[in-house]
Amino acid sequence: MSSESNSLKQVALQKFKKNFWGVFSCCIIVFVGIISVFAYVLAPDNSQYANQMHLPIHSKKPGFSVTMLTIPSQMESHQSRFNKIFFGNKNSATEIPISSYSISSHTLTYKEYASDGLDGVEKTLSLSVFPSGTVENYLNKKTFLFGTDKYGRDLLSRVLVGARISFFIGFVAVFISLIIGIFMGSAAGYFGDKIDAFIMWIINVTWSIPTLLLVIAITLALGKGFWQVFIAVGLTMWVEVARVVRGQIISAKEMQYVTAARALGFNDFRIITKHILPNIMAPVIVISAANFASAILIESGLSFLGIGAQPPMASWGAMIKDHYNYIILGKAYLAIIPGLCIMGLVMAFMLVGNALRDALDVKG
Amino acid sequence: MLTLFGVVSVIFFLFNVLPGDPAQMMLGQNEDSAQLAIVKQKYGFDKPVSTQYFYYLNDLSPISLHSKNTGDYTYLRPGKYSAIKLFAIGNTTLVLKFPYLRESFTKQGKKVSAVLAETLPNTFVLAVSAIVIAMLLGIFLGIISALFKDRWLDKTIQIFSTFGMSVPSFFSAILFAWFFGFILHKYTHLEMTGSLYELDDYGESNHLKLKNLLLPAIVLGIRPLAVVIQLMRNSLLEVFNQDYIRTARAKGLSEFQIIKRHAVKNALNPVVTAISGWFASMLAGAVFVEYIFGWNGLGKEIVNALNTLDLPVIMGSVLVIALLFIIINIFVDIIYVWLDPKVKLQ
């Protein structure tokens, strides 16, 4: 229908589609989103948090490959398939990197992998450990595309699983900030007077404490952990949303459609939610995209300081923290890969924010 | 003033719902109940939260009430406060004093104000240098970007600016330290880490090492630089559309004269507002940069305090930064009037 294509949303969408970087960034975000949801399916190491350590092959170069002996776990697994896909395999087999092996009728003799030209320990294992007689199935060549970290974990898997936290914190923090921000902002803007003065005071107080320090204080109060960081970041970012909503509502309040709604006898709640808010969503959307980016930055910063996600959970910031000392040892990629990931994702959100701003015609 | 009161309250209550026992934290592993009781009494931890809150406010307020009983928390112990007695009412004395930020937990008996006095100037130097770099370079690049709007030069600067905004500061700090301080060390002679003042090789006197300032200041300046470029470009483009610029063009002024005389000052408004907002958050954002470059400033102190859970130091730092933020905002309003006489101070 022709009338539909003229709606504001359609126009904005058309404008957005013309912005190459905006669309490109959108694709990146969707791509990272899919990765973070299906991280354990895509990752070579599907143990929980991609935490399969092989100390003998720690911090190896990207593309390193080794023969890996997999000794199946003796414990019964009660994990459902669904659970395995989304939370990783909690009960994984033991993996031993080996340099050579020989098979006799009942035993398997293998030499453990040792780096720097050292000789590995030779060990023998009864073949009965392996369920079906074919030992060769448990001896595989394993390649580490991004190399291994300082505990010998697969860096690629850690990066994939780490995408989750960055992506997730953006959602949770933006969600919390939107709820509080819209509520506070519209109350202040719509009712004015004492409520406005009081809410502006809260806004000023929160605004005066630098975001990073406030988040640190809140995480200290709530305890370490990634949920606490989610909440803390959300609790600091609502201020910007509230300021924008308040400003918009103050000017929208004088519009005729609000007067009309008042004349019809609608209550305040209905006027705000049904009439004003849909009209002022554009700047809020733009701010949310920016908040998404800064939430990712703050989380990585906190993880870098060690007060974000706790090990063994994989987080990009924590990965940089673990490995930035290796940078002068010629293993810069250990810190640079997660760093580039953070940068890429943040940049994608910023570009989407810019594209949205142009498409929705928001000033500032 | 009201805002500051709010900040103090927020900080106090955030740090007082912490699960740990502060008295226990101070003594470390020392499990001596008698000693614990003494510490608790000395610092007022045995009192209910509301009383502790009053003590905290009383400690911070420049005009405060103090008891004459030696056992009370508010007793004017010599060395604790630097105060001038005003007058006494019954058992309490009203004094004028320097706000007391309490003592560090881990550095036994060292006042937080002393810790701040040591570290804050270093951070200040770093932040000011970073801002100066960001302002000068940012305004310059912003003007270029606006002049060559939509051409390749503008687009390159734009991409650079978005790039600068999305790099986490700790990551850029690591990269800069590695690249300029390690790989190119032969040519740059810059160190990976270092402070403004360093002991010389004999460990005797403090040396001023200005070259150590370069890398951290650049890294800290990256984000504000990106913001300044964007703001300068956008506001300059807006100014170019104004009538008086058209008049200036019609008068036959050169493009350089137009920018210098007419456009820049008017375009600076949003830049100044934004930069001042950035300044305070830079004092806090310096946390990562200082930590990685080993810069002996407030940020590094905060990280140390975080690791040792030295709460008074964290509380004091947050408070001072918030105070600076409020003061800077007042200054901004004044600068704003100077730049734009249409705005009047209320």
Q: Tell me: do A108 and A254 sit in the same domain.
A: no
Most trustworthy range by pLDDT among A19-28, A170-179, B303-312: A170-179
End-to-end CA distance of chain A: 34
Cβ separation B15–A339 shorter than 8 A: no
Give domain status of residue A43, yes or no. Answer: no
Which pLDDT score is estimated for B178?
83
DSSP E strands, B61-188: 63-67, 83-89, 92-97
Q: Which range among A96-105, A169-178, A252-261, B336-345 shows the weakest confidence by mean pLDDT?
A: B336-345
Q: Tell me: do A135 and A261 sit in the same domain.
A: no
Cβ separation B314–A220 shorter than 8 A: yes
Which pLDDT score is estimated for B346?
46
User: What SS3 state is found at A33?
Assistant: helix
CA A290 to chain centre: 15
Give domain status of residue A229, yes or no. Answer: yes
Beta-bridged to residue B208, according to DSSP, are B197
Cβ separation A216–B314 shorter than 8 A: yes
**In whole angstroms, what is the distance from residue A308 CA to residue A302 CA?**
5
User: What SS3 state is found at B308?
Assistant: helix
Considering only alpha carbons, which residue of chain A is nearest residue B283? A210
Cα A248 to Cα A187, A287, B323, distances in angstroms:
12, 13, 29
Considering only alpha carbons, which residue of chain A is nearest residue B176? A327
**In whole angstroms, what is the distance from residue B25 CA to residue B22 CA?**
5
Q: Kindly report the length of chain A.
A: 364
Q: Tell me: do A327 and A275 sit in the same domain.
A: yes
Q: Tell me: do A193 and A311 sit in the same domain.
A: yes
What is the architecture of the domain spanning B112-339? Orthogonal Bundle (1.10)
Domain boundary among A96, A121, A151: A151
Q: Tell me: do A313 and A257 sit in the same domain.
A: yes
Q: Tell me: do A130 and A193 sit in the same domain.
A: no
Q: If contacts are CB pairs under 8 Å, which of residues 10-39 in chain B contact chain A?
A: 10-11, 14-15, 17-19
Q: Tell me: do A109 and A174 sit in the same domain.
A: no
Q: Of residues A201 and A10, which shows the higher confidence score?
A: A201
CB proximity B43 to A under 8 Å: no
CA B119 to chain centre: 11
Q: Dump pLDDT digits (tens) for A60-93.
A: 777 777 777 777 766 666 677 777 777 777 766 7
**In whole angstroms, what is the distance from residue B130 CA to residue A146 CA?**
35
**B260 near B143, Cβ under 8 Å?**
no
CA B75, B78, B82, B83 torsion-angle sign = positive
Q: Which chain A residues have a beta carbon less than 8 Å from that of B302?
A: 213, 216
Q: Tell me: do A74 and A116 sit in the same domain.
A: yes
Considering only alpha carbons, which residue of chain B is nearest residue A209? B322
The shortest C-alpha distance from A242 to chain B (Å) reads 17
Both tokens assigned to B36:
């614990």
**In whole angstroms, what is the distance from residue B108 CA to residue B106 CA?**
6
Q: If contacts are CB pairs under 8 Å, which of residues 220-279 in chain B contact chain A?
A: none
Residue type, A330: G
**Which residues span the domain enclosing A20?**
2-34+157-359
* Domain residue limits, chain B: 2-97, 112-339
Both tokens assigned to B160:
């650079």
pTM: predicted TM-score of the whole model, two decimal places: 0.84
Cβ separation A205–B6 shorter than 8 A: yes
**B233 near B139, Cβ under 8 Å?**
no
B194: alpha, beta or left? (left if phi > 0; alpha if psi -120 to 50): left
Q: Tell me: do A230 and A90 sit in the same domain.
A: no
User: Which residues are CB-neighbours of B149 under 8 A, at least 6 positions away?
Assistant: B233, B237
CB proximity B116 to A under 8 Å: no
CA A345, A346, A349, A352 torsion-angle sign = negative
**In whole angstroms, what is the distance from residue B188 CA to residue B258 CA?**
39
Domain boundary among A151, A167, A184: A151
Q: Tell me: do A214 and A192 sit in the same domain.
A: yes
Banded pLDDT at A4 (limits 50, 70, 90) = very low
Considering only alpha carbons, which residue of chain A is nearest residue B18? A221
Residues of A engaging B, defined by a Cβ cutoff of 8 Å: 201-202, 204-206, 208-214, 216-218, 220-221, 223, 293, 297, 300-301, 304-307, 317, 320, 324, 327-328, 332, 335-336, 339, 342-343, 346-347, 350-351, 354
Residue to test with chain A: of B3, B116, B178, B327, most A Cβ within 10 A: B3
Which domain CATH number covers A193? 1.10.3720.10
CB proximity B2 to A under 8 Å: yes
Beta-bridged to residue A112, according to DSSP, are A98
Taking 50 as the pLDDT cut, the residues of chain B under it are 346
Q: Quote the number of domains for chain A.
A: 2
Banded pLDDT at A182 (limits 50, 70, 90) = very high
CA A169 to chain centre: 6
Banded pLDDT at A178 (limits 50, 70, 90) = very high
**In whole angstroms, what is the distance from residue A37 CA to residue A356 CA?**
25
Cβ separation A212–B281 shorter than 8 A: yes
Considering only alpha carbons, which residue of chain B is nearest residue A298? B168
**A357 near A286, Cβ under 8 Å?**
yes
Cβ separation B175–A339 shorter than 8 A: yes
**What number is the average pLDDT over the span A37-54?**
77
**A352 near A170, Cβ under 8 Å?**
no
Which pLDDT score is estimated for A1?
41
A vs B: CB pairs below 8 A? 123
Residue type, A194: K
Q: Tell me: do A16 and A144 sit in the same domain.
A: no
Which pLDDT score is estimated for A91?
65
CB proximity B326 to A under 8 Å: yes
Q: Which chain A residues have a beta carbon less than 8 Å from that of B3?
A: 201, 204-205, 208
Backbone φ and ψ of A45, nearest 5°: -105, 105
The shortest C-alpha distance from B125 to chain A (Å) reads 19
**B302 near B316, Cβ under 8 Å?**
no
Q: Which of A213, A348, A266, A52 is nearest to A43 (CA)?
A: A52
pLDDT over 70 at A279, yes or no: yes
Residue type, B78: P
CA A266 to chain centre: 42
Both tokens assigned to B181:
């301080």
Q: Tell me: do A168 and A315 sit in the same domain.
A: yes
**In whole angstroms, what is the distance from residue A314 CA to residue A300 CA?**
11
Domain boundary among A83, A117, A151: A151
Percentage of chain A exceeding pLDDT 90: 6
**In whole angstroms, what is the distance from residue A256 CA to residue A292 CA?**
34
